[in-house]
Structure 1
Amino acid sequence: MAQDVIVLGAGIVGVSVALHLQQRGWQVTLVDRRAPGEATSFGNAGLIEASSVVPYAFPRDLRTVFKFAMNRSTALRYDLRSLPAYGPWLARYWWESAPARLAAAARDMLPLIGNSVAEHEALIARAGLSDLVRPTGWLEAYRSPEQFEREASDAARIASEHGLGMKALDAAGLHRLEGSLADGYAGAIHWTDPRSVIDPGALTKGYAALFERQGGRILSGDAATLQQSGSGWRVMTSSGLVEAQAAVIALGVWSGDLARKFGYRIPLVAKRGYHMHYESDGRAALSRPVVDIENGYVVAPMRRGLRLTTGVELASRNRPPSPVQLERAERVARPMFGLGARIDDAPWLGMRPCTPDMRPVIGPADRHPGLWFAFGHAHHGLTLGPVTGRLLSELMDGEAGFTSPHPYRAGRF
């Protein structure tokens, strides 16, 4: 008999889980209050980051910590009213960022990161979305010659250890590759394996359209109404009550709220981020995303123009948007990238769902048969959506999984 499942959350992770389960013969209903790809999956730098093996860690050097504590950085801003709520999470994040524990996190993430491009490419081919993806890699650009030399050496070691493609470019080499950049960067690391997406929201919607063409249902509903129903699960939607044998929570940063309803206290917080699109000032087109390492922002070529994506803002989900971080990044980026007039009416604000140990939560809810988790992908939701869908669908079908799910279990907290 065909098994049926409710997938809660129509971002890149939820849609990918739905597609993989559907491919295995499950009858899948995808439920969200919004249309697919319109929350956090809409606003990001468009990177399928096959090279980002080492997670983003809490800085361990006092100079960087002091700089962030001053709250004047473009890479990190915190809302003072929200900071106490982040305290326990930040303490655990700092502890998990010690060199040995960070290395363990990198090892645990490698199977997911290493398969991310292949899993996307399989869905891209099936959905006919190749026009949205460019095999150009991305650039880490450095203003400080000393930092560039240090990081290029480390990057070469990481690339050798993990079989990644990278090139170290001096200032002249960077200018040859990206002629639109103004002078000011001492060099850049070109990671050649990643793919860049020129419209992340459209990619998620394209995957969702494939799901519907293959018979899947997408309904509007409130995930907070999820309840156990006998040996299964049910949720209220605009089309009425939907019941299924299994349910998957893939709600991004809101997943922790629903998991808590069933007694699972998973430390999940939002690292907020903003983006804005700009016209070009007439320079040659940018070919690939560029990360300004010292200033903590990304500029990426998108369908809508040049997208400036900010670093991290630590602020509670209900706090109003702040223009500060985007304005800081814009002042630095405008002359370097030739940003022209703003295109969007207002900055877009999204919520990156982050656990303190820098690993997602993928697998079963230990005390509730038929309930499954797929969330907490931090900065790599777009990257890890399809590979998460593959692993979770394998586990739900009773298989061992292409890699051990042990590092991602909910019970580790």
Structure 2
Amino acid sequence: MKADVIVLGAGIVGVSTALHLQSLGRSVVLVDRGPPGGGTSYGNAGLIERSSVVPYAFPRSLTTVLRYALNRSSDVRYHARDLLHVAPFLFRYWRQSSPRNLQIATRAMLPLIEASITEHDALIETSGAGDLVRADGWIAAFKSPHRLAAAVAEAAGLASYGLRRVVLNPTTFAELEPTVRTGAGGFCGAIHWLDPKTVADPGELTRRYARLFERRGGKLLVGDAASLAEASPGWSVTTEGGPVTAPDAVVALGPQSGSIFRRLGYKIPLGIKRGYHRHYTLPAGVSLNHAIVDEEAGYVLAPMRQGIRLTTGIEFAHADRPVDARQLEHAERLARQLLPLGEPVEATPWLGRRPCLPDMRPVIGAACRHKGLWFNFGHAHHGLTVGPASGRLLAELVTGRAPFVDPAPYRSDRFR
């Protein structure tokens, strides 16, 4: 089989890339070893996070770092035996999180964040996925008045970005979420961010986008990305339907992208932040209407089609280490103090891997040493949010169109 472009990876980034290439007139084969949306794209908190204009930086506060060092936090956990393995990435991440570098990262990511809603809206409408998406924002909740006041002040500092928000006291919070505990022992207030959208099934959203790609004539094949090889001309990959060749190939494999670029000689410092989720039923009379982030404990409670999804913060460990449920269990104990969760839906937690670069922005663009090879990975916590926007940018670069944003901050050769 021949095509114009092979896209490796059927997560939200790969599927979005394939759709945009298709809309620009390219014939595309989308290759993955499993069904669309079955990896990292399945397991997130379901936020199309228009309000996260400042990337998630490594903490610069000594108090916070020391708290994490004790390894008793629910938002960050590490495996001591893997510290040497993750230390080089963490050191680079810490350096890139200086105030100056964080400003650079913020400016770099802003165009993709700003385009996140409009790019998703176009695909949501044409794929018939409106039943999965709500436009009522999410809630950042606090137990400490001091932390709430600091967050309100920080939010005021983002006024130039034009983000809509409402500060909630216990009474107005309870009007939105009557069965979430407020007051003594509960949340003292919150910030309701209004611009983001929430997705009730991120994996299904990706599958709807993939079905749109197929309806438009795209080919979705099961194959092994590790078989990618240079052909004459272009690239080839082995699939269950036979070999596929194309002049261009896109690596959009999320956390597995390193298996390709390292073999081809690229030294890109891709790191992995692991995370967990589990779904829970709700007892009769208990409800959750919005995604709520416990900002002090670092977990998210989000209403999903499968139940209430509890997602953890970050676990630093070797990507292939088996599931360690302690972080999720810690978050569950805290969450049950605020919302009476029922029984877990799954027998075991789901483990996912976020692909991260230390400078807090993805790699989007040409591979500098191989003609026809393109990269689109490393979206960290915002793969769902900016997947369609980064897919549009990559498609414009592949087809020689004028890119809608400056691609320079995402170049693959920016690392030294």
Cross-structure match for 1:20? 20
Separation in 2, partners of 1:182, 1:156: 26
* Offset of residue 401 of structure 1: 0.5
Separation in 1, partners of 2:402, 2:358: 26
Cross-structure match for 1:293? 295
* Offset of residue 3 of structure 1: 6.5
1:366-405 aligned within 5 A: 366-405=368-407
Cross-structure match for 2:366? 364
Cross-structure match for 1:312? 314
Cross-structure match for 2:168? 169
- In the alignment, is the contact (CA less than 8 A) between 1:41 and 1:200 conserved in 2? yes
- In the alignment, is the contact (CA less than 8 A) between 2:302 and 2:309 conserved in 1? yes
Deviations 1:356-383 (A, max 9, x none): 0000000000111110000000000100
Deviations 1:148-197 (A, max 9, x none): 00111110221x11011111112222111211211211111111000000
Cross-structure match for 2:30? 30
Which residue identity is paired with 1:113? Answer: I
Cross-structure match for 2:102? 102
Separation in 2, partners of 1:231, 1:164: 48
Which has the larger displacement, 165-174 or 351-360?
A: 165-174
* Offset of residue 257 of structure 1: 2.0
- In the alignment, is the contact (CA less than 8 A) between 1:3 and 1:25 conserved in 2? no
Which residue identity is paired with 2:196? Answer: P
Q: Which runs of 5+ in 2 are unaligned?
A: none
* Offset of residue 335 of structure 1: 2.6
Deviations 1:301-328 (A, max 9, x none): 0011100000000111111100100000
* Offset of residue 284 of structure 1: 4.0
Separation in 2, partners of 1:91, 1:84: 11
Cross-structure match for 1:141? 141
1:120-269 aligned within 5 A: 120-158=120-158, 160-183=159-182, 184-269=186-271
Which residue identity is paired with 2:229? Answer: Q
Separation in 2, partners of 1:163, 1:74: 32
Paired residue secondary structure (2:261): helix
- In the alignment, is the contact (CA less than 8 A) between 1:256 and 1:265 conserved in 2? no
Cross-structure match for 2:55? 55
Separation in 2, partners of 1:191, 1:370: 41
Separation in 1, partners of 2:413, 2:328: 37
- In the alignment, is the contact (CA less than 8 A) between 2:12 and 2:387 conserved in 1? yes
Deviations 1:11-31 (A, max 9, x none): 000000000001111110000
Normalized against structure 1, the TM-score is what?
0.98
Separation in 2, partners of 1:283, 1:30: 44
Paired residue secondary structure (1:261): coil
- In the alignment, is the contact (CA less than 8 A) between 2:286 and 2:340 conserved in 1? no
Normalized against structure 2, the TM-score is what?
0.97
Deviations 1:253-292 (A, max 9, x none): 1112211111111111110011000011234421111000
Give the CA RMSD over aligned residues.
1.0
- In the alignment, is the contact (CA less than 8 A) between 2:3 and 2:245 conserved in 1? no
Point out 4+ residue stretches in structure 1 off by more than 4 angstroms.
none
Cross-structure match for 2:275? 273
Which has the larger displacement, 281-290 or 199-208?
A: 281-290
Deviations 1:381-413 (A, max 9, x none): 100110011111111111231010000000101
Cross-structure match for 2:343? 341
- In the alignment, is the contact (CA less than 8 A) between 2:279 and 2:308 conserved in 1? yes
Paired residue secondary structure (2:243): strand
Q: 1:283 to 1:104 in 2, by over 3 A?
A: farther
Separation in 2, partners of 1:329, 1:29: 41
Q: Which runs of 5+ in 1 are unaligned?
A: none
**Aligned-pair identity (%):** 55
Which residue identity is paired with 2:332? Answer: E
Aligned residues: 411
- In the alignment, is the contact (CA less than 8 A) between 1:256 and 1:267 conserved in 2? no
Separation in 2, partners of 1:282, 1:141: 24
Separation in 2, partners of 1:76, 1:406: 31
Paired residue secondary structure (1:82): helix
* Offset of residue 231 of structure 1: 2.4
Separation in 2, partners of 1:167, 1:211: 38
Cross-structure match for 1:72? 72
- In the alignment, is the contact (CA less than 8 A) between 1:364 and 1:371 conserved in 2? yes
Which residue identity is paired with 1:165? Answer: R
Which has the larger displacement, 21-30 or 180-189?
A: 180-189
* Offset of residue 130 of structure 1: 0.2
